[in-house]
């Protein structure tokens, strides 16, 4: 009798555990499904007309701010970034946090204006939102992203509020954002452009902002020369480049015995960006659970990106298709495992 009583008491507990397990699996399935659908979130760029913006808590689109409005209404709060070309200030405009970029020195006016022209021309889901500009004062205003550049990724994902996002889903999506920007840059409305401020991993990552919903936005567009077919290519600066991060064709080709000469250095094209994709991807993926599986699936495209002959490397759009395919297959595989448990 005691055994029968024990079985009766144990049965509800077992059923309760099974119900809890099913609920947990269902929640995981719903989470994965929502995550899959959120790989391309709606951007303010697609919600506003040309030369308009909407940032922060704004509910309506507003025309880009011009010189009088920037001078009168944009209030500097503190310096948050500084480079050779510009200083960046956290600022306030009508209760919204914005980033005010100010020309650092007149000797870099051309670089500053080039960056502004690229920012203006490349407004899209891949690029930070332009809020306003004033060429005569050497200033422009963009949307503020508190997490800063992609260099903060690992530190950000250790914070309590973001730790749950430290997964292969988030990190692979960031890699997709990076490659998607390259694909856009290589077929942009203003021609084929090359990311010249990418001579090492640190510099490359500093060109992108990390958004609070874990996406990358191109932000620093000061060095995007245009590739014109048949014109000898472009050169990223006038000094010799070294190291393994840059593409082989960016290195001085005539040996150590011949002194570097900018005039004698051959030009190159957008395939230099492709060479760097595997290295940037490895940083973005980190060492989270599942990253080794992703690297395995991407091994072939990594190999193709690292081909010494530039013309043999894939186009950015082809790389993007592979990355999205791997993401889709990983999501489907994980979702199927959850469905099998239900």
Whether 327 and 39 have beta carbons less than 8 Å apart is answered as yes
Last residue of a domain, one of 143, 171, 191: 143
Question: Which residue has better confidence, 239 or 34?
Answer: 239
Note the pLDDT of residue 333: 82
Does 304 lie in the same domain as 201? yes
In the predicted model, is pLDDT for residue 33 greater than 50? no
The Cα 87–Cα 79 span in angstroms is 7
DSSP H helical ranges for 286-315: 291-305
How confident is residue 209, by pLDDT bands cut at 50, 70 and 90?
Answer: very high
Tens-digit pLDDT profile for residues 168-196: 999 999 999 999 999 999 999 999 999 99
Tens-digit pLDDT profile for residues 98-142: 999 999 999 999 999 999 999 999 999 999 999 999 999 999 999
Whether 236 and 278 have beta carbons less than 8 Å apart is answered as no
Question: Which residue has better confidence, 4 or 229?
Answer: 229
The Cα 104–Cα 117 span in angstroms is 17
Question: What angle (nearest 5°) sits at the alpha carbon of residue 48, between those of residues 79 and 91?
Answer: 15
Q: How large is the average pLDDT for residues 76-96?
A: 96
Q: What is the largest CA-CA distance in the chain?
A: 97
The Cα 73–Cα 55 span in angstroms is 16
What is the CATH classification number for the domain harbouring 282? 1.10.510.10
Under DSSP, is residue 61 helix (H, G, I), strand (E, B) or coil? coil
Note the pLDDT of residue 143: 98
Last residue of a domain, one of 120, 143, 166: 143
Does 132 lie in the same domain as 87? yes
What is the CATH classification number for the domain harbouring 97? 3.30.200.20
Q: Kindly state whether residue 12 falls inside one of the protein's structural domains.
A: no
Last residue of a domain, one of 143, 172, 207: 143
Does 213 lie in the same domain as 131? no
Q: Kindly state whether residue 293 falls inside one of the protein's structural domains.
A: yes
Note the pLDDT of residue 63: 97
Q: How many domains does the chain have?
A: 2
The token pair at 155 is: 């530190």
The model's pTM is 0.86
Q: Kindly state whether residue 187 falls inside one of the protein's structural domains.
A: yes
In the predicted model, is pLDDT for residue 42 greater than 50? no
Note the pLDDT of residue 156: 98
Does 253 lie in the same domain as 217? yes
Enclosing domain of residue 219: 148-330
Does 267 lie in the same domain as 123? no
């Amino acid at each position: 009798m005691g055994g029968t009583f024990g079985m009766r008491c144990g049965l509800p507990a077992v059923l309760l555990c099974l119900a809890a397990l099913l609920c947990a699996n269902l929640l995981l399935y719903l989470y994965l499904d929502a995550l899959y659908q959120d790989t391309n979130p709606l951007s303010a760029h697609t919600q506003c007309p040309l030369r308009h913006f909407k940032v922060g808590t704004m509910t309506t689109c507003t025309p880009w701010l011009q010189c009088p409005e920037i001078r009168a209404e944009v209030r500097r709060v503190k310096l948050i970034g500084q480079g050779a070309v510009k200083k960046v200030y956290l600022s306030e405009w009508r209760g919204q946090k914005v980033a005010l970029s100010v020309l650092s020195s007149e000797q870099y006016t051309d670089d500053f204006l080039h960056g502004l022209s690229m920012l203006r021309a490349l407004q899209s889901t891949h690029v930070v939102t332009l809020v306003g500009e004033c060429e005569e004062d050497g200033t422009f205003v963009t949307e503020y992203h508190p997490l800063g550049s992609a260099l903060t990724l690992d530190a950000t994902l250790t914070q309590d509020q973001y730790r749950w996002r430290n997964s292969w889903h988030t990190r692979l999506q960031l890699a997709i954002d990076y490659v998607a920007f390259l694909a856009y840059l290589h077929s942009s409305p203003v021609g084929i452009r090359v990311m010249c401020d990418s001579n090492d991993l640190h510099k490359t990552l500093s060109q992108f902002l990390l958004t609070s919903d874990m996406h990358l936005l191109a932000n620093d567009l000061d060095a995007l020369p245009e590739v014109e077919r048949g014109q000898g290519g472009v050169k990223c600066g006038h000094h010799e480049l070294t190291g393994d991060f840059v593409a082989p064709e960016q290195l001085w080709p005539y040996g150590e015995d011949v002194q570097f000469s900018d005039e004698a250095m051959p030009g190159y094209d957008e395939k230099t960006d492709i060479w760097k994709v595997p290295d940037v991807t490895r940083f973005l993926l980190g060492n989270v659970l599942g990253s080794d599986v992703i690297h395995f699936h991407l091994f072939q495209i990594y190999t193709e990106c690292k081909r010494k002959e530039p013309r043999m490397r894939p186009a950015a759009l082809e790389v993007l298709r592979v990355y999205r395919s791997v993401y889709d297959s990983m999501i489907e595989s994980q979702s199927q495992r959850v469905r099998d448990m239900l």
